[in-house]
Structures are given as C-alpha cells and as structure tokens.
Structure 1
Amino acid sequence: MQPSASPYEERLSAPRTWWLICALVGVAMALILLPFGTLPLLGGLVGGTAAAAVVASSYGSVRIRVVGGALIAGEAKIPVAALGDAEVLDPEEARAWRSHKADPRAFMLLRAYIPTAVRIPVTDPDDPTPYLYLSTREPRSLVTALETARATA
C-alpha cells in the first residue's frame, strides 16, 4: 500500500477579524484623503484595503506539510527520521513553551492567534536546534501524520 502524497497539510491563515481590520484600514485611508476629493477618497479606500489585505494574506500564507518523509514548516524542511516523538500542547502549555520555557535555539513557527501547538524534539546530533515549535489548529492530526511518515520511511 502506497502512502498518500500529502498525508498532512495546513495553512496557518489569518483569522477573519484581520480581514475586517483590512477594510477599516481602507476606510481610514479614505478619510485621510477625503479633503482632496472623491477620486482620492476612492483610491485611498481601495489602495488602503488592498495593501492591508496583502500584508494579512502574506502573514497567513505559511504552511505546515508532511510530504515524502519530510516535515516542511514555513522555510524549514527536515526529514521525519531526524525528529523525536511529537508532543501536543494545549493552549496553556503552548503559551508556556513560547514564553518562559522557550529555548532561543528552537525553530518557532508560531502564530499568536492559534492557541494550540506541537513541540517536536530534533534528534539529529548535528543539528543545533533542540526542538520545533509549530502552531497548528490540528495538533493531533499533525502528530498522527508524523508518526505515519516515520513508520513508512
């Protein structure tokens, strides 16, 4: 039986409230340009909304994937064979690991608007990174995908 090409994929998209904030940025830009007339007002509305939307979209475009025996989290790509057993972090424990328990050498892919996370020790002795901290909305699914990928690798 062949494992699926992509057993796990998640996009850490920005929350819906951020899109409302993008619209409010556009309204603010329109109000700033109101004294200059209708055309600059519309330009400020469209331009401000578009600029804020680009920023929100790019921040929320990071992905976490388990593909072909590797974990790809943002810019990092590491084989699952170099990873230890993943630990699901509830919101309280996730907050502790991204603050007072955090190691400055760790790879942290965190999004404050996602309360849950996974902590994965790096077992490769040549890698100075002690662990990966990954914010995820589906921590149990990510752990299952990592275990499946490790078993089939």
Structure 2
Amino acid sequence: MQYLSFSISITIISWIIGMILHALIKSQPYYTDLSNLNFIKSKRLNKAIGLGVFKWIVKNTFFKYFNQKIKLERRIQVDELYELRKEMSISDISHLLGFTVVTLFAFVKFIYGNYSFGLVMMAVNIVLNLYPSLLQQENKRRIDKLIRIYS
C-alpha cells in the first residue's frame, strides 16, 4: 500500500514537472515532431489495451474536470479545431515528459533491487501518464480528420 500511495503521488507530481518541461521545449525545432507523435495508430490495438475503457473513465469521472480546454462543442469552427489540437498536443507531450520522469524513478528502484516498488510505480505511471498520452494521440488523429473535412 505504501508503494501505491508513493507511486500515485510521484506520478501526479510528474504532471506538473511535465508541464514545466513542456514550457521549456515548446519553442524548440523538434517540437513539431513531438506534437505529431503516434505510438499506436491501430484502432484495434487501442481497443485491445483498454484505451476505450480509459476514455470512458476520463469522460465520466472527476478526471473530466482536469483540462477544461480540451472539449469539443457542437458547432465546429476550423480555428477552434486547430486550438483544440494544440491543447491536446500540450497535454500529450506533458504526459509523455511526466512518463519519462517517473520511468527514471522506477529505473532507479530496479537498480537498487526494489523490484516490486519499481513495478508498482510503472503500473501507476502507465495508467496516469502513458494512457492519457495515448488517448490524446487518438483524439488528435480524429481532430486531424475533422480539420481535413472542414478545410
């Protein structure tokens, strides 16, 4: 239980670290490449890893209140789609950076032989950092389709 509470705490702290790191790299030349990352392009694989369940949890629990800028209204304006995609990229990259930070912590735990702690930390990290990033990547692909349709 102690491992779980610490893992949740460090992962939530990594969200803030990810936002800070994002602010530092957003003007770098490689940022465009980062904002277009797509780890899993297959809808079938996304479904197999439970991304649909994760999406339902985000939409129907308190997580829906976390990033209010990532919402699509009924009436669609192309400019709003670009802004929405930008906000999704910020979230995606921030979560990936947070994932990397927590992975380093877990790696240190593995090096020092605390395997169970490292495994719990990585499990929490996957759910609270990697899955949100994968969800944003899936949503950005959907937004890109809408941008192509409305442009």
Greater per-residue helix proportion: 2
Common fold: TM-score over 0.5:
no
Structure whose CA Rg is larger: 1
Name whichever structure is richer in strand by fraction: 1
TM-score range, shorter chain: under 0.3
What TM-score do the two structures reach when normalised by structure 2?
A: 0.27
TM-score with structure 1 length normalisation? 0.27
Q: Which structure is richer in relative contact order (CA contacts within 8 A, separation 6 or more)? A: 2
